[in-house]
């Protein structure tokens, strides 16, 4: 139950968000994200779960402003993403499914660029970069060029880039991709820590990862939000998360085989 009361302004509010896939001429366009609504406050860490192709990355791209919704609206820290895009984007950090890194830049230079782009005051850029490097355990590679890093390190630089300006809303698309078990554990602790003062949305298709670091869970299936509840409530509910996930997978398989037979 939400105890913040009606006056608390949500950090992230998405209302009836809809985005269609590009359709062929004359054919109906399937929704990639269908009428999705979310409200998150400081302290919420939302795990966006779903099978491959469920619409997780599209949802995060819509929430980050990289994609314009066909219907619905997004507010970031009280700013409408379409009407006040600069103010809204200044309050969010986004890690895309592939970290946006320049191979020829050193890690520290990459983070400095991100800090400048996110309008960190000039006299605070050095401290912000050092803090992000420390938070993501990048000290030993800070002088290395991004193009020479392993996938796990690239992912961590991507996360550092998303948090360098201390955003109030953090969107992480598959942040655990390419991390080894130790790095995975560190990343989960980092997400939990970041979520204490801001809201975090992370996407994953791994139930264990979401259970390890999130306070809320949302299950997406074919673009529609099937479940949005606190992890505590999900654990206490009649159908376990694992069972729900298994049911979604079996629905998917039976639908596909049905399509195949019909064809």
Partner 1 sequence: MIGVVFRHELGRLARSAQSWVVAAGFAGLAGYLLLGQLERWIAEQDAIRLQDHAPGLAGFLGVNLLAPLAVVIGLLAPLYAMRAFADEFRERTWSLWQSSPVPLMALVGGKLAAVVTAMLLPIGIAIALVLMLRPFTPLDAGVVASSALGLLLCAAATASAGLYCSSLVRQPLAAAAGALALVLWLWLLGSLGAQAPWARALAQLSPGQHLSGFFQGYPRSADVLYFLLFTATFYVLTVIRLDALRHAGDE
117 binds partner 1 (CB under 8 A): yes
> What's the DSSP call for residue 123?
G
Could you tell me where the DSSP H helices lie in 49-140? 56-64, 85-90, 107-117, 125-135
Q: What distance in Å separates the CA atoms of residue 53 and residue 19, rounded to the nearest whole number?
A: 14
148 binds partner 1 (CB under 8 A): no
In the complex, minimum distance from the CB of residue 214 to partner 1, in angstroms, rounded to a whole number = 22
Rg of the Cα atoms in the chain:
19
Member of 42, 51, 96, 135 binding partner 1 (CB under 8 A):
96
Site for partner 1 in 14-33 (CB under 8 A): 19, 22
In the complex, minimum distance from the CB of residue 48 to partner 1, in angstroms, rounded to a whole number = 17
Q: Which residues pair with 12 in a beta bridge?
A: 40, 76
In the complex, minimum distance from the CB of residue 91 to partner 1, in angstroms, rounded to a whole number = 9
Q: How far out from the chain centre does Cα 70 lie?
A: 20
85 binds partner 1 (CB under 8 A): yes
The owner of tokens 């299950």 is 219
71 binds partner 1 (CB under 8 A): no
- Work out whether the CA dihedral 22, 28, 33, 37 comes out positive or negative: positive
Member of 75, 89, 168, 222 binding partner 1 (CB under 8 A):
89
Q: Which stretch binds partner 1 (CB under 8 A): 81-89, 179-187, 195-203, 243-251?
A: 81-89
Q: 8 is written with which tokens?
A: 């608390």
126 binds partner 1 (CB under 8 A): no
Strands (E), the chain: 12-20, 31-40, 45-49, 71-76, 79-80, 92-95, 169-173, 199-204, 216-221, 224-230
159 binds partner 1 (CB under 8 A): no
Q: Which stretch binds partner 1 (CB under 8 A): 9-17, 91-99, 136-144, 243-251?
A: 91-99
> What's the DSSP call for residue 96?
-
Toward partner 1, which CB reaches closer, 65 or 234?
65
Toward partner 1, which CB reaches closer, 34 or 234?
34
**Would you say 221 and 33 are in contact if contact means Cβ atoms under 8 Å apart?**
no
Q: Which stretch binds partner 1 (CB under 8 A): 100-108, 181-189, 205-213, 248-256?
A: 100-108
Q: How far out from the chain centre does Cα 133 lie?
A: 20
In the complex, minimum distance from the CB of residue 40 to partner 1, in angstroms, rounded to a whole number = 17
Q: How far out from the chain centre does Cα 232 lie?
A: 21
Toward partner 1, which CB reaches closer, 102 or 189?
102
100 binds partner 1 (CB under 8 A): yes
In the complex, minimum distance from the CB of residue 122 to partner 1, in angstroms, rounded to a whole number = 10
The separation between the first and the last C-alpha atoms of the chain, rounded to the nearest angstrom, is 46
Bridge-based pairing of strands 216-221 and 45-49 is parallel
Residues that bind partner 1 (CB under 8 A): 19, 22, 61, 64-68, 85-87, 89-90, 92-94, 96, 98, 100-104, 113-114, 116-119, 161
């Amino acid at each position: 139950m939400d105890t913040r009361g009606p006056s608390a302004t949500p950090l992230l509010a998405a209302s009836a968000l809809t985005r269609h896939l590009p359709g062929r001429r004359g054919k109906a366009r399937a929704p990639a994200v269908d009428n999705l609504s979310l409200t998150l406050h400081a302290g919420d860490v939302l795990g966006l779960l779903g099978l491959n192709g469920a619409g997780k990355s599209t949802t995060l791209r819509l929430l980050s402003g990289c994609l314009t919704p066909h219907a619905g609206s997004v507010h970031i820290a009280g700013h409408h993403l379409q009407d006040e895009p600069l103010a809204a984007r200044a309050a969010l950090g986004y890690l895309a499914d592939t970290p946006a890194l320049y191979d020829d830049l050193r890690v520290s230079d990459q983070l400095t660029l991100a800090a400048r782009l996110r309008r960190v005051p000039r006299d605070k850029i050095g401290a912000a970069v050092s803090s992000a490097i420390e938070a993501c355990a990048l000290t030993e590679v800070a002088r290395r060029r991004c193009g020479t890093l392993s996938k796990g390190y690239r992912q961590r630089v991507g996360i550092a880039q998303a948090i360098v300006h201390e955003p109030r809303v953090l969107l992480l698309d598959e942040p655990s991709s390419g991390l080894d078990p130790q790095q995975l554990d560190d990343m989960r602790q980092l997400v939990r820590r970041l979520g204490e003062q801001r809201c975090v949305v992370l996407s994953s298709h791994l139930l264990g990862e979401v259970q390890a670091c999130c306070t809320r869970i949302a299950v997406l299936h074919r673009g529609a939000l099937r479940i949005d509840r606190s992890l505590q409530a999900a654990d206490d509910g009649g159908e376990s998360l694992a069972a729900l996930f298994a049911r979604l997978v079996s629905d998917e398989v039976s639908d596909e085989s049905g399509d195949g037979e019909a064809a």
